[in-house]
């Protein structure tokens, strides 16, 4: 078993604000033991930083491409982050 962590930044495009995207993402992240944050950006996208095992981050990314029922995800941009931020939980802002 490895303690390797992966940190990734995602920008989610589409109908993703005002549809419980961030709160649902927090619930999914907690189930996957992912730490990080989710915030609404001024351009209507949602930015998520996720840190966890590579497998958990991959599962989380798969969920981000679908989102909650009321969302319509058009695109998920993925930006790898080389450093670890050591989040203690998954926060929404």
| Angstrom distance (rounded) from CA 53 to CA 46 | 22
Q: Look up tokens 């989710």; give the residue.
A: 38
Write the pLDDT tens digit of every residue in 41-93.
999 999 999 999 999 999 999 999 999 999 999 999 998 776 666 788 888 88
* Spans of all domains in the chain: 6-84
CATH architecture of 6-84: 2-Layer Sandwich (3.30)
The pTM of this model reads: 0.88
In whole angstroms, what is the distance from residue 74 CA to residue 88 CA? Answer: 30
- Among candidate residues 9, 15, 22, 33, the one labeled active-site is 22
30 noted as active-site residue? no
Active site residue 22: yes
What would the pLDDT profile of 10-28 be if each residue is shown by its tens digit? 999 999 999 999 999 999 9
């Amino acid at each position: 078993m490895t303690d390797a962590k992966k940190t990734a930044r995602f920008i989610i495009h589409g109908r993703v604000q005002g549809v419980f995207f961030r709160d649902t993402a927090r619930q999914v992240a907690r189930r996957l033991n992912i730490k990080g944050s989710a915030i609404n950006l001024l351009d209507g996208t949602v930015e998520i930083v996720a840190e966890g095992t590579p497998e958990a981050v991959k599962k989380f990314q798969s969920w981000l491409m679908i989102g909650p029922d009321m969302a319509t995800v058009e695109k998920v941009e993925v930006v790898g982050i080389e450093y670890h931020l050591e989040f203690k939980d998954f926060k929404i802002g």
